[in-house]
Structure 1
Amino acid sequence: MEFRQLRFFAEAAKQKSITKASEVLHISQPALSKAIKGLEEELGTTLLIRTNKTSELTDAGEVVLDYALRMGVLLEEMTTTLNDLSELKRGEVHIGLPPFIGSLLFPKVMAKFHHHYPNIKLNIAEYGGARVVKSVEEGEMELGVAVLPLDDKQFRIYPILEEEMQLVVHEDHPLGKKQSIDMSDLADEEFIFYNEEFALYKILREYFISAGFEPKILFQSSQWDLMSEMAAANLGITILPASICRRVPNKELRFLGLRPPVMWRLAVITKKDRYLSRAARTLIDFILSSKGALGQEEQ
C-alpha cells in the first residue's frame, strides 16, 4: 500500500466523482481508477460504489477515509516539523555541565541562547567533570563542558576559556602578605581540595607532585563557595580559578598568583564519531561566539 493511493482515494471520496478528482489531482481518470482499484484489491473490500455520475463510499470506504485523512494530517505535521528543524525553529540538546562550571559561567549565556532560539530545549545534566567526559564518550550526552587536557583523538574539542588559578588564603595566614608563591613552598600547607570526581583534583595533584610533594588534604568539597568560606575561616588554603575568585565576597581572603602558573582551560567537547544535531551545532557556535563573556559575568 502506498500513501499515494490513500491520497487519491480520499480526493475521490471528497469530490464524489472520479472525473472531478482526476482534475484536482492532475492525473488521468484511468490512472486514478487503477490506483483506487489496486487499493481495494489489497484491502480485500470495495471502497467506492461507482455510477456514471457519482461515487459513493461503502461502510469500509468510510473507515479507510477516516484513517487516510488522519494519516494525511500526520504527514503534514511531520513535514512541518522537519522544516522547523531545518530552519532551527525547534530542537533538543543534551548537555553535561559540572556544577562548579555551570553555575559560574553559563547562566547568562544560556539565557541569551534561549532568547535567540526559544524552541530549542536544553536538557542539562550536572555531573562532576570526569562523569561529564564519560557521559559524552558513552553517548548519554550529545555534548559537555570539560577541563582540558583531553584526548583529541576521541573528542572534538572547542576551547572556550583559559585563565590562571589563584591561591586563596586568609589575610592572617603567613602567606597573606605575598603577591605570588612557588608551588614548592606549599609542601607543608593543609589544603581544602576538590573531590576526586573533579578534573581539577587530578590536574592540581600532578602539579604538586611535580613540585616534589603530595598535598596534605584536610577537607574535600564540590562547592567553590564552601571551599572559599573554609579558607575564610582560616581552616586551610585552597586554589580556585580567577573568575571564581572574583565572585568571592569575603574581604578577609587574599588571592595569590602561583609559580609556575596553573592554567584552567575549559572546552565544549563532543564525541568524534557521533552525529551532531543541527541544534547542538548551533549551541556550540553560540557558546564560541559568547566565550569572551565567560568568566566575566559577575564582574
Structure 2
Amino acid sequence: MELKQLLYFLEAAKYKNFTKASEVLHISQPALSKMIKSLEDELDMTLMVRSNKTSEITDAGFIVMQYAQKIFSQIDEMTTILNDLTELQRGTIRVGIPPIIGSLYFPSVMAEFHKQYPNISINITEYGGAKVVKSVVEGEIELGVAVLPVDEEMFNIYPIVEDQMKLLLHHQHPLADRDLIHLKELKDEEFIFYHEDFALHDIMWNNFIREGFQPKILFKTSQWDLMSEMVGADLGVTILPESICNRVENKHVNIIDIEPFTPWNLAVITKKDKYLSFAAKRLIEFFL
C-alpha cells in the first residue's frame, strides 16, 4: 500500500465524483480509477461503488477513509514539528559539561539562549571531561564541553576558551611569595586533586610524571571551590585554571604561575558524521 493510493482515494471519497477528484489531483480520470482499483485489489474489498454521476463509499471505504485521514494528519503534524525545529520553535538539546567549570561560562550563555528560544529545553549532564568525550562518542549527548586536545578525526571542534593552569598555595606556605614555581619544586607537597574521570587529572598527572615524580594525593574532589577552601585551610596545594582562580576570594590563598606552562583550552565538541539538531547548532553559535 502506498501513500499515493490513500491520497487519491481520499480525494475521490471527498468529492464522490471521479471527474472532480481527478481535476483537483491534476491527473486523468482513468489514472485515478486505476489507482483506486489497485488499492481495492490489494485490500480485496470494494471501497467505492461507482456510477455515472456520483460514487458512494462502502462500509469498508469509510474505515479506510478514517485511517487514511489519521495517517495524513500525522504526516502533517510531523512536517509542522520539523518546520518548527528548523525555526527553533521547539526541541531538546542534550549537553555534557564538566562540573568543575559549569558555573564559570555557561549560565549566562544558557540564559541568553533561553530568552531567544524559550521552547527549547536543554538537558545538562555534569560529567568529567573524559566522560563527556565518551558520551559524545556513544551518542548519549549531542554536544559536550571538553578540554583540548581531543581526536580531531573523530570530533568537530569549536574552541571557546583559552586558559592556563595556576598553583594555589596557603599564604603562609614557604613558596607563597614567589612569582613563578616549577613543578619539580612540588614533589614533596600534598595535593588536593581531581577525580580520575576529569581531563585535568590526566593532564596534570602526566606533567608530574614527565618531571620525574608522582604527586602525593591527599584528597580528590570535583568542586573547585572546595579545593580552594582546603588550600585556604592549609591542608595542601592544588592547581586550577586561571579563570577559576580569578573567582577564589579566600584571603589565605595565594595564586602563582607555574612552569612548564600548561594550557587549559576548552571546546564544544560534536561527533563527526552524526546528525546534529538545528537547536544544537544554534546553541553552539551562542558559545562561540
TM superposition score normalised by structure 1: 0.87
Residue 163 of structure 2 is matched in structure 1 by 163
Superposed structure 1 runs of 4+ greater than 4 Å apart: none
Deviation at 1:214, TM superposition (A): 2.1
1:33 aligned counterpart, secondary structure: helix
Provide, for residues 46-78 of structure 1, a one-character-per-residue CA deviation record: whole Å limited to 9, x for no partner.
111223332222111111110111111112112
Of 112-121 and 251-260, deviating more is 112-121
Deviation at 1:117, TM superposition (A): 3.1
Correspondence 1:54-73 to 2 at 5 A: 54-73=54-73
Deviation at 1:231, TM superposition (A): 0.9
1:106 aligned counterpart, secondary structure: helix
Residue 204 of structure 1 is matched in structure 2 by 204
| Alpha-carbon distance in structure 2 between the residues aligned to 1:154 and 1:7 | 44
Provide, for residues 129-173 of structure 1, a one-character-per-residue CA deviation record: whole Å limited to 9, x for no partner.
111122223333332211122232333322211112221122222
1:197 aligned counterpart, secondary structure: coil
| Alpha-carbon distance in structure 2 between the residues aligned to 1:49 and 1:151 | 66
Q: Which runs of 5 or more structure 2 residues have no equivalent in the other structure?
A: none
Deviation at 1:200, TM superposition (A): 0.9
Amino acid at match of 2:163: E
Amino acid at match of 1:107: P
Amino acid at match of 2:3: F
Residue 51 of structure 2 is matched in structure 1 by 51
1:152 aligned counterpart, secondary structure: coil
2:227 aligned counterpart, secondary structure: helix
Deviation at 1:84, TM superposition (A): 2.9
Residue 84 of structure 1 is matched in structure 2 by 84
Aligned pair count reads: 288
| Alpha-carbon distance in structure 2 between the residues aligned to 1:158 and 1:24 | 51
1:40 aligned counterpart, secondary structure: helix
Provide, for residues 213-236 of structure 1, a one-character-per-residue CA deviation record: whole Å limited to 9, x for no partner.
321211111111111111111111
| Alpha-carbon distance in structure 2 between the residues aligned to 1:43 and 1:196 | 62
Amino acid at match of 1:247: R
Q: Which runs of 5 or more structure 1 residues have no equivalent in the other structure?
A: 289-299
Residue 235 of structure 2 is matched in structure 1 by 235
Question: How much identity, in percent, do the aligned residues show?
Answer: 62
Correspondence 1:257-272 to 2 at 5 A: 257-272=257-272
Residue 21 of structure 2 is matched in structure 1 by 21
| Alpha-carbon distance in structure 1 between the residues aligned to 2:19 and 2:211 | 90
| Alpha-carbon distance in structure 1 between the residues aligned to 2:71 and 2:14 | 16
2:247 aligned counterpart, secondary structure: coil
Residue 147 of structure 1 is matched in structure 2 by 147
| Alpha-carbon distance in structure 1 between the residues aligned to 2:232 and 2:224 | 12
Of 54-63 and 117-126, deviating more is 117-126
Provide, for residues 172-194 of structure 1, a one-character-per-residue CA deviation record: whole Å limited to 9, x for no partner.
22233333322222222211111
1:30 aligned counterpart, secondary structure: helix
| Alpha-carbon distance in structure 2 between the residues aligned to 1:27 and 1:150 | 57
Residue 130 of structure 1 is matched in structure 2 by 130
C-alpha distance 273-56 of structure 1, shift in aligned 2 (>3 A):
closer
Residue 285 of structure 2 is matched in structure 1 by 285
Amino acid at match of 1:65: M
| Alpha-carbon distance in structure 1 between the residues aligned to 2:281 and 2:59 | 51
Deviation at 1:254, TM superposition (A): 1.6
| Alpha-carbon distance in structure 1 between the residues aligned to 2:115 and 2:201 | 36
Provide, for residues 17-49 of structure 1, a one-character-per-residue CA deviation record: whole Å limited to 9, x for no partner.
223323333333222222222221221111112
TM superposition score normalised by structure 2: 0.90
Provide, for residues 256-281 of structure 1, a one-character-per-residue CA deviation record: whole Å limited to 9, x for no partner.
11133222111122233434333333
C-alpha distance 128-174 of structure 1, shift in aligned 2 (>3 A):
same
